[in-house]
């Protein structure tokens, strides 16, 4: 693992969260775990947990996205997009993957479904149909 490269990327993540990614909060920014909370509204809130694999940058970042308000299917789709992009830029700094989470297209965010307390989010027929259309491979 290239410690100098990782240290440089950690500094860049810190700058991105402070100056570029609106509504972001850097919870942890160390070599073992980067954790960033990105909040657009009370209902559009996502947590990105990122780890550097031992052979980084020859292997892509390990990415986990979490949210209490966004559907698992949407999170899986966003995670897959991030993982695909990480594979495209192997050998190069990958901290800018966080920018992808900031730039979730407006059409996507307009289609996001919220979980009502006590009601499973997949229960509604419209939600199920929309999620199946958006993510047919899941």
| 1-58 confidence digits (pLDDT tens) | 556 888 888 888 888 888 888 788 889 888 888 899 888 777 778 888 988 888 888 8
Q: Is pLDDT at 106 greater than 60 in this prediction?
A: no
Domain-wise residue ranges, the chain: 3-134
User: In the Cβ-directed half-sphere of 5, how many Cα atoms lie within 13 Å?
Assistant: 14
The length of the chain is 138
8 A C-beta contact, residue 56 and residue 36: no
In CATH, what class is 3-134? alpha beta
Q: Please give the Cα distance from 116 to 118 (Å, whole number).
A: 6
pLDDT digits 0-9 by tens, 44-93: 788 889 888 888 888 888 888 888 887 888 888 888 888 888 888 888 77
Q: Which tokens go with 77?
A: 């789709």
């Amino acid at each position: 693992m290239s410690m100098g490269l990782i240290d440089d990327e950690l500094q860049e993540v810190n700058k991105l969260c402070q100056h570029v990614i609106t509504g972001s909060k850097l919870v942890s920014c160390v070599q073992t775990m980067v954790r960033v909370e990105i909040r657009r509204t009370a209902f559009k809130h996502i947590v990105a947990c990122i780890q550097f694999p031992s052979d980084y940058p020859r292997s892509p970042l390990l990415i986990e996205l979490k949210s209490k308000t966004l559907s698992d299917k949407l999170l899986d789709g966003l995670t897959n997009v991030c993982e695909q992009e990480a594979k495209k830029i192997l050998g190069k700094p990958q901290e800018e993957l966080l920018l992808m989470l900031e730039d979730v297209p407006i059409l996507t965010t307009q289609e996001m479904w919220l979980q009502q307390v006590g009601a499973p989010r997949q229960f509604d027929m419209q939600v199920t149909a929309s999620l199946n259309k958006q993510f047919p491979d899941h």
